[in-house]
A and B are shown apart, each in its own frame.
Chain A
């Protein structure tokens, strides 16, 4: 079934070429249909590949260039269950976004479908690729399409600022990766992930390998918007149109994390096996810092999309922490969290699109009380916000539970992640109470206003917008109760982190032995996870209530000054962002230089 793998990329690309070539010839709805068909096909093929890959990773060598005596010459795609599932998720989210935008965007949505399909193809390609430079090519492709999609609403300065910041930070991240690739290539003479990993098991050149790892990981962390490379994300995701944000927030940032995990496990896990804690702990620390900062910043926003952008940052941090634990259970937790989070946050962004279309604003304070009429949207909003907090067996709970289990040797980690996630959910709950229930303080000077967004020109075809949003949110909430999901992700994560098996499959075609089929049942869970789940909801509610009452409680100087300082760092100026990028790379590199010598 390996012939399906190239189709995951070829189908959306052909769709994109077709919609662009016939841009002035075909009517708008035909092009939209082509886009929806292409995305739907990609999702369907992705699911097929995922199901097939459960029995063993699927490999496809492009151009028929199989390895010549252990030297991989061509480029390959390797589909293991986690990456195939991510590709299927990409197809699904792009499908929902295209359906939503069919009813949402203006008549003259020039070339929108083309760019969305290109983005879809690039993300699928990145998820499946087994070649380091090929990953870079897909990364740049999704970037280029994304920069243009961010600046889509060209009529205002905000989208342009977001697009510029996005382009420059991610561009530099890409170049860091190329320098890392050049270093690794010089040392190993290979670009294939498996082969680089095998070659690095022998020989010295320690400094070079450390620097290569630093640069490649930092480049992917730029895409994944991890502290201190995260500053561009809120600017970009606050201004792109809602369906575009849904795609970005749901899958594009997570792709960066997949890059980190893939590169670490296939290439760098062996040379640094003795010092693995040093590598993992840095990732863990970055993850926790990102989660906490994202949660705090989300709480300090009133622009709903910017708030959601910071909540994405928060959850990305939790996911990175899961990866940084360097055990399969942590990776599995990240995967489950990614799935639930993708669906819920996509639904939330689509909901902001509906808010903008119906009520002409996405500002929490401006919308005060106006959402009272839209009860169904309120239900979805609160449902998704709670799903992101993770009460037992709802939404992100399964992922959190696995990560907490993986962190069992370090009991200070779960509380920190718990607080961060609760902060993000609290800001959403607070916003929901203000908008849909009309309660709480009406003014809050600590939350700075952002620019107005133009509502979309099209009338609101709620008949399409509502089901699209509802389906996404409901699917996200159900993730934790899918029977058999956690066992399968754990097994898939164990396979993902098995460097030797990956290498022998890719380079020598040696298939792994068959494992027994997994049951379809809910795994028993620990009391601790249940308590954390309940606690997350309670904490989120308490923080939301605090946020609603905060202006009336009199300024709490201890909190206000640091909050203002943190907000000031997110200055919107690209020079500052690149400065922080350099600081981050230098610090991470410095720590690894000392710890991994």
Chain B
């Protein structure tokens, strides 16, 4: 039980990578990339959890109350922004690829090779 969240994070990462390697659609690939990244959120947040700790908001609560780690939450926020932005770029690229090549199958847009 005490390692379950970490195992979940590892599983999500592995599944995402599998999706990327076997993908036949650039949009699906972008989403798989997001899935891989969400494994980092799960891991970060799981690492910062404190048993019986409340949220790190101290409004009306005496300081020194047990609270979870706020730093990993800030890191996860940054991580989410990174994920959103990379996904936006990949989607824009997918749109452009479709406009020029008529397909968004990554196996078929390999014009540069060798």
Measured in the bound complex, the distance between the Cα atoms of B77 and A137 in whole Å is 12
Tell me, yes or no, whether B1 is within 8 Å of chain A by CB: no
| Interface residue stretch chosen among A11-19, A159-167, A197-205, A391-399 | A159-167
Asked whether A186 and B96 contact (CB < 8 A) given A571-B110, A573-B107, the answer is no
Asked whether A582 and B97 contact (CB < 8 A) given A175-B36, A182-B44, A306-B112, the answer is no
Beta-carbon contact of B112 and A238 below 8 Å: yes
| Interface residue stretch chosen among A48-56, A149-157, A247-255, A365-373 | A149-157
Of residues 75 to 95 in B, which have CB atoms within 8 Å of A's CB atoms?
75, 78-79, 82, 85-86, 89-90, 93-94
* Per-position 1/0 for A439-454, Cβ under 8 A of B: 0000000001011000
Beta-carbon contact of A572 and B110 below 8 Å: yes
In the complex, chain B residues whose CB is within 8 Å of the CB of A570:
113-114
A160, A186, A235, A571: the one contacting B47 at CB < 8 Å is A186
Beta-carbon contact of A574 and B112 below 8 Å: no
* Per-position 1/0 for B1-24, Cβ under 8 A of A: 000000001000100010011110
In the complex, chain A residues whose CB is within 8 Å of the CB of B13:
175, 179
In the complex, chain A residues whose CB is within 8 Å of the CB of B43:
179, 182
Interface residues of B, count at CB 8 A: 41
Beta-carbon contact of B90 and A164 below 8 Å: yes
Measured in the bound complex, the distance between the Cα atoms of B22 and A175 in whole Å is 19
| Interface residue stretch chosen among A39-47, A140-148, A313-321, A530-538 | A140-148
Measured in the bound complex, the distance between the Cα atoms of B99 and A346 in whole Å is 32
Prevailing SS type, chain B contact patch: helix
In the complex, chain A residues whose CB is within 8 Å of the CB of B82:
137, 140, 174
Beta-carbon contact of A144 and B85 below 8 Å: yes
Measured in the bound complex, the distance between the Cα atoms of B78 and A39 in whole Å is 27
Asked whether A578 and B93 contact (CB < 8 A) given A179-B40, A182-B44, A186-B47, the answer is no
Tell me, yes or no, whether A413 is within 8 Å of chain B by CB: no
Tell me, yes or no, whether A185 is within 8 Å of chain B by CB: yes
Measured in the bound complex, the distance between the Cα atoms of B109 and A235 in whole Å is 12
A163, A171, A191, A575: the one contacting B22 at CB < 8 Å is A575
Interface Cβ pair total, 8 Å cutoff: 129
In angstroms, how far is the closest chain A Cβ from the Cβ of B76?
A: 10
In the complex, chain B residues whose CB is within 8 Å of the CB of A542:
none
* Chain B residue nearest to A236 in the complex (CB): B112
Name the residue among B47, B90, B113 with the largest chain A CB count within 10 angstroms. B113
Beta-carbon contact of A160 and B93 below 8 Å: yes
Measured in the bound complex, the distance between the Cα atoms of B89 and A148 in whole Å is 8
Tell me, yes or no, whether B61 is within 8 Å of chain A by CB: no
Asked whether A575 and B97 contact (CB < 8 A) given A140-B82, A178-B44, the answer is no
Tell me, yes or no, whether B26 is within 8 Å of chain A by CB: yes
Measured in the bound complex, the distance between the Cα atoms of B106 and A556 in whole Å is 34
Beta-carbon contact of B112 and A239 below 8 Å: yes
In the complex, chain B residues whose CB is within 8 Å of the CB of A579:
21
Beta-carbon contact of B100 and A160 below 8 Å: yes
Beta-carbon contact of B113 and A164 below 8 Å: no
In the complex, chain B residues whose CB is within 8 Å of the CB of A181:
75
Asked whether A151 and B93 contact (CB < 8 A) given A175-B36, A182-B43, A575-B20, the answer is yes
Asked whether A144 and B33 contact (CB < 8 A) given A182-B43, A573-B110, A578-B20, the answer is no
Tell me, yes or no, whether A133 is within 8 Å of chain B by CB: yes
* Per-position 1/0 for B31-70, Cβ under 8 A of A: 0010011011001100100000000000000000000000
Beta-carbon contact of B93 and A167 below 8 Å: yes
Tell me, yes or no, whether A294 is within 8 Å of chain B by CB: no
Measured in the bound complex, the distance between the Cα atoms of B86 and A140 in whole Å is 9
B71, B90, B107, B112: the one contacting A168 at CB < 8 Å is B90
Beta-carbon contact of A171 and B39 below 8 Å: no
Tell me, yes or no, whether A99 is within 8 Å of chain B by CB: no
In angstroms, how far is the closest chain A Cβ from the Cβ of B18?
A: 9
Beta-carbon contact of A182 and B40 below 8 Å: yes
Measured in the bound complex, the distance between the Cα atoms of B37 and A234 in whole Å is 25
Measured in the bound complex, the distance between the Cα atoms of B84 and A571 in whole Å is 28
Beta-carbon contact of B96 and A178 below 8 Å: no
Tell me, yes or no, whether A488 is within 8 Å of chain B by CB: no
Beta-carbon contact of A163 and B112 below 8 Å: no
Measured in the bound complex, the distance between the Cα atoms of B90 and A451 in whole Å is 22
Beta-carbon contact of B114 and A568 below 8 Å: yes
Beta-carbon contact of A144 and B89 below 8 Å: yes
Tell me, yes or no, whether A270 is within 8 Å of chain B by CB: no
Measured in the bound complex, the distance between the Cα atoms of B79 and A98 in whole Å is 31
Measured in the bound complex, the distance between the Cα atoms of B113 and A568 in whole Å is 8
Measured in the bound complex, the distance between the Cα atoms of B107 and A482 in whole Å is 49
In the complex, chain A residues whose CB is within 8 Å of the CB of B86:
140, 143-144, 147, 167, 171
In angstroms, how far is the closest chain A Cβ from the Cβ of B105?
A: 10
* Chain A residue nearest to B85 in the complex (CB): A144
* Per-position 1/0 for A13-41, Cβ under 8 A of B: 00000000000000000000000000000
A167, A174, A573: the one contacting B89 at CB < 8 Å is A167
Beta-carbon contact of B72 and A185 below 8 Å: yes
In angstroms, how far is the closest chain B Cβ from the Cβ of A40?
A: 29
In angstroms, how far is the closest chain B Cβ from the Cβ of A585?
A: 10
- What are 30 A-B interface contacts by the 8 Å CB criterion? A133-B75, A144-B85, A144-B89, A151-B96, A157-B97, A160-B97, A160-B109, A161-B110, A161-B111, A162-B112, A164-B94, A167-B90, A167-B93, A172-B17, A172-B36, A175-B37, A182-B40, A182-B43, A182-B47, A185-B47, A185-B72, A191-B71, A306-B112, A451-B111, A572-B112, A574-B29, A575-B21, A575-B22, A575-B23, A575-B106
The 5 closest A-B pairs by CB, nearest first: A572-B110, A572-B113, A567-B114, A186-B47, A178-B40
- Give the interface of A toward B (CB within 8 A): 133, 137, 140, 143-144, 147-148, 151, 154-158, 160-164, 167-168, 171-172, 174-175, 178-179, 181-182, 185-186, 191, 234-235, 238-239, 300, 306, 448, 450-451, 567-568, 570-575, 578-579, 582
- Give the interface of B toward A (CB within 8 A): 9, 13, 17, 20-23, 26, 29, 33, 36-37, 39-40, 43-44, 47, 71-72, 75, 78-79, 82, 85-86, 89-90, 93-94, 96-97, 100-101, 106-107, 109-114
A158-B111, A160-B93, A572-B114 known, 15 other contacts, Cβ within 8 Å: A148-B89, A155-B100, A161-B109, A161-B112, A163-B93, A164-B90, A172-B17, A174-B82, A175-B37, A300-B114, A570-B113, A570-B114, A571-B110, A575-B23, A578-B20
